[in-house]
Structure 1
């Protein structure tokens, strides 16, 4: 999740017409173009039900070298979205955006000149040069061809959080306009393990790097740097380096008017420690101070100068939208979603393999929604409500495809019943549990429980709550807008090997394949029966919602409930009955 690929010209597409005012057709086969692309569908005979062989076939295609790592704005995008479209059409879905299978997402592609990027700290007349990639990564979201910041005062700003409802403001008593703020990743209380500060080890929205850069911009900072540490970020420096190298993507300012600093990036913990020491400060002691109420920002006896050349090009990418119309209330819809993009191809890398295939992240999620779509479309009784299957772009660049969709929905959000997000499913076999990321959020969990009971399984929260996974995938844009969203992940208490085997598998993926060129499809070692079991549960949930008329809400006290209540005031206090 979080960055991109080499830059190539994208084919110009017609602007999509939102379907907000239109009523979907009630015949699921009406206007459904049959798939004729044999390169996409091959000779594989797909089954109606969710099937491990079918799932593997989709993943193999999407994660093949031919697709080039599925980078937005590359030939790999064209292959990817055409493959998804062909599968939706083969199944018998309708185009989901009026008469169009695609929703065009405008984007600005910015590529930094990494070789010439310069960042120099000056402390007591001496200079420390920070090298791109090994010491820091830096970029701009402003679209400027040249960013020059000279002798900007460095200020340690703790965690960079201003949260009035938690009586916490790391910016209290200081004006950072024109200065460079340096801050810690994650939340106050995290490194100290203090459960009384924010949510302790469980990351909140304030712990995400996206929030921190936005808040720095709101405060007027010229630049913002996050100090990396593996525990706080939940990934190593190589993930940061890979994700921030090469082209970076944003929505145009007119589509995303949030303020932006001139430059933003990360520095390694080692580089930060040396810099703070030269400035007469102990980073360890400052970290401890930042975890206590009453922390005050600390101006450093140091300045920062940086020069960054970038090339920015306005392009576009595509969400793929397929519709299964409802037979009775087609204007109400359940959404299944997954992001199709990954990190593409990184030219000039050593080691032989420079294609970031993204088999787990997220060819598995795309294969999942295709499999669910086929099972629901081939059901004997068509659903009463519509079901929308949404494959979004630019998740790795900050959830941009889903952000654009939520701002331009083809089904109005107040008519969107629920969202099911599938992202990076683990091919490790059957488990006694299923992971609900952000457990304790919505009444969708009430609908999940009886189905898991039937499988003699249980729902558990994510084991690493510090990673903030709930804020790192596309459902989050729907959640912020108020639409109840369930983000499930594979279980970890495996039938074969128990919790120890599940934890070991997760660690192995994170350490060796996540956002690396090694995220390949591995047919010899993947165990897909657990994924099939998970998808059967999620598909049944959608079918029950499509036929049962429920309007799930967020649990009381959830920060997204107010937005849902505002859009559906009559249903604000209703709770759905248990699923059958």
Structure 2
């Protein structure tokens, strides 16, 4: 989940494919105002049949100890795949990948030896305490030796904002030092980017990608808690130990040799050693495109071990009645963190909330679609992906190797870590304002007496942290919405206050287990709502489009 979180325009965003462009091109007509879920005769009864009790069963199963935390490539994966496939078969859905319900996903596990230090100028920094470093390259030893250091501000190349920190700069073989987030976060009145709402340019993943495109040898991000939206411990723990990625044709050669982070205190020492004041340089970087040679060199040696493995996405399809080659795709991720046998007592990360909830909702929704008469005009496909917790890898692999052509993919609807805090009056829209999918969402929410609100903390960039983002990068309109923060009634408010403490404290912990006292009416409420959205999109005369202000609109 991403979680851990709006309208803006990025015509030049790298990675949007030609297929995605054709799927969302500006010559598509606007969504039909007359699109109605009622175009299926028994919609209301099927809608009403989506209940908390229906969701509870598969949720308990997927979150049980028997599934061992659903870590990819373990026995827990096989049990999960067997269960999901059997449920989709029972719902009457066909295999989504030819005659198979599975799509193999080739993974690469890379582990850096923690016995490393980084030297910059006269300073030596310690692993996890002052810095972390790693490499996506499939090499046993990666040496970054005496690489010239260049400060590149926010490391952004965004033509639509007239912003390029790399303009006129040759960083071939050099190491770039980059600020976290984007220039809008601490300069919201500038009119650049989206103020405190993070754009994709603020994500660490973008910064390493752009540094790689620029030919840099290394890329180091300066960590600051507020603009990053998480503390240093998250960086240190997430970047140490085994790191998963997709198997690449070039063995990672197109990536910078070393990707790393520095603590703020370490970065200030580096800037001081270069005769620069960090705060002054950051202020300059906020005003406009900025870079400066630092007159220092960086050296670090990363020793890697790596291992290939194969996991699987699950794909199941209900063929459309009249337009079976066009698909609405629902996504959820089935994976979690597995188990840690070094722990005393409970060793299993059951991942009930994250994301047995979304997978269970997908099962119940698939059964509901199977009961509609007639079927929706377009096909409805459920893609339950692997390795989300390792960086959206299952959905990224699918987007790069789509079973259903992207130009035939009408929209994506994502379900992740769904609402176990009871029914809500509002619907939290992650990345609010991005596409016309919200028109369908508003209609479905209104049926329930609800209204749409922006997610909490849009500055955290949650839209870029779950599986729908893999579709958005390819140009497919992608919706991520869930129960908000306004309880339905006083009783729910009391329950929510108590349970929210438990759920929050159990994120990615062994205590993320199914609880009989959970009020699953909120998941049922959201599942009904997203079921209606998908039905309407599947029956609409036209395709939804990105809004003009979205960075994915091309």
Instruction: Give the TM-score, by structure 2 length.
Output: 0.84
Is 1:561 the counterpart of 2:553 in the alignment?
A: yes
Q: RMSD in angstroms over aligned alpha carbons? A: 2.9
SS in 2 for 1:430: coil
CA gap of 1:415–1:219, structure 2 versus 1, over 3 A, is: closer
Q: Which residue is 2:538 aligned to?
A: 546
1:291 aligns with 2:275: no
Could you tell me how far 1:373 is from its partner in structure 2? 0.6
Question: Counterparts of 1:495 and 1:149 in 2: how far apart (Å)?
Answer: 56
**Aligned equivalent of 2:315, options 318, 321, 344:** 321
CA distance in 2, matches of 1:255, 1:338: 29
Per the alignment, residue 567 of structure 1 pairs with: none
Stretch moving more, 308-317 or 63-72: 63-72
Aligned mates of 1:165, 1:234 — CA distance in 2: 25
Instruction: Tell me how far apart the structure 1 counterparts of residues 495 and 237 of structure 2 sit (CA, whole Å).
Output: 26
Deviation larger for 251-260 or 432-441: 251-260
1:98 corresponding residue in structure 2? 98
The residue that corresponds to 2:391 in the other structure is 398
Q: Which ranges of structure 1 fall in alignment gaps of 5 or more residues? A: 4-46, 563-580
Question: Which residue does the alignment assign to 1:469?
Answer: 462
Match of residue 400 from structure 2: 407
2:229 & 2:287 partners in 1: Cα distance? 22
Distance 1:162 1:121 in 2: 28
Q: Which residue of 2 aligns with 1:215?
A: 210
Q: Does 1:142 align with 2:134?
A: no
The answer on 1:532 being equivalent to 2:527 is no
SS at match of 1:519: coil
Report the alpha carbon displacement of residue 534 of structure 1 after superposing the two structures with TM.
1.1
Q: What's the CA shift for 1:301?
A: 4.7
CA distance in 2: counterparts of 1:177 and 1:164, whole angstroms:
21
CA change 1:312–1:460 in 2 (3 A) is: same
- Does the 8 Å contact 2:428/2:482 carry over to 1? yes
Q: Deviations over 1:256-310 (max 9, x none)?
A: 9893011112233333334434544333333222211253x23335432212211
The CA distance in 2 between the partners of 1:402 and 1:256, in whole Å, is 20
Spell out the pairing of 1:441-452 with structure 2 (5 A cutoff): 441-452=434-445
Q: Which moved more, 1:452-461 or 1:509-518?
A: 509-518
List aligned pairs for 1:367-378, cutoff 5 A. 367-378=360-371
Call closer, same or farther: CA 1:499–1:128 in 2, change over 3 Å: farther
> With CA pairs under 8 Å and 6+ residues apart, which has the higher RCO, 1 or 2?
2
Q: Is the 8 A contact 1:436 1:459 kept in 2?
A: yes
SS across alignment from 2:189: coil
What CA deviation, in whole Å up to 9, does each residue of 1:408-447 have, x standing for no partner? 3222222222211111213111111101111112222112
Q: SS where residue 540 of structure 1 aligns? A: helix
Cα distance in 2 for partners of 1:520, 1:266 equals 33
Is the Cα contact below 8 Å between 1:340 and 1:393 reproduced in 2? yes
Which deviations, in whole Å up to 9, do the C-alpha atoms of 1:522-579 show, x marking residues without a partner? 332x3221121111011012222333443222223434333xxxxxxxxxxxxxxxxx
CA distance in 2, matches of 1:193, 1:502: 37
Q: Tell whether 2:126 aligns with 1:130.
A: yes
Aligned to 2:480: 487
- 1:340 maps to 334
1:251 equivalent in alignment to 2:251: no
Q: Given that residues 48 and 374 in structure 1 are in contact (C-alpha distance below 8 angstroms), is that contact kept between their aligned partners in structure 2? A: no
Describe the shift of the 1:561–1:189 C-alpha distance in structure 2 as closer, same or farther (beyond 3 A): closer
Tell me the CA shift for residue 313 of structure 1.
1.8
Alignment coverage as a number of residue pairs = 511
Structure 2 stretches of 5 or more lacking a match? 4-46
Number of the residue aligned with 1:365: 358
Residues 253-262 or 201-210, more deviating:
253-262
Structure 1: distance between partners of 2:502 and 2:84: 26
Residues in 1 aligned to 2:148 and 2:322: alpha-carbon distance in whole angstroms: 63
Residues 1:171 and 2:154 aligned together? no
List per-residue Cα deviations over 1:129-168 (Å, max 9, x = no partner): 312x333322211111111212223332221112122121
Distance 1:255 1:129, change over 3 A: closer
Query: Partners of 2:181 and 2:539 in 1: how far apart?
Result: 41
Q: Which of 305, 309, 314 lines up with 1:311 in the alignment?
A: 305
Answer yes or no: is the 8 Å Cα contact 1:50–1:374 preserved in 2.
no
Question: What's the secondary structure of 1:291's corresponding residue?
Answer: helix
Counterpart in the other structure of 2:16: none
Please tell me whether the aligned partners of residues 189 and 292 of structure 1 are also in contact (alpha carbons under 8 angstroms).
no
Partner of 1:232: 227
| Aligned equivalents of 1:498, 1:278: Cα separation in 2 | 59
Deviates more, 1:407-416 or 1:485-494: 407-416
Q: Residue 69 of structure 1 contacts residue 358 of structure 1 at CA under 8 Å; is this kept in 2? A: yes
Secondary structure at the counterpart of residue 481 of structure 1:
coil
1:276 equivalent in alignment to 2:271: yes
In the alignment, which residue of structure 1 is the partner of 2:261? 266
Distance 1:161 1:444, change over 3 A: same
Question: 2:504, 2:388 → 1: CA distance?
Answer: 21
CA displacement at 1:222 relative to structure 2: 1.5
1:500 to partner: Cα distance: 9.5
Instruction: Give the distance between the partners of 2:204 and 2:492, measured in 1 at CA.
Output: 30
1:356-393, Cα deviation, whole Å (9 max, x unpaired): 33322222211111111111113344333221111011
Picking from 158, 173, 177, the partner of 1:182 is 177
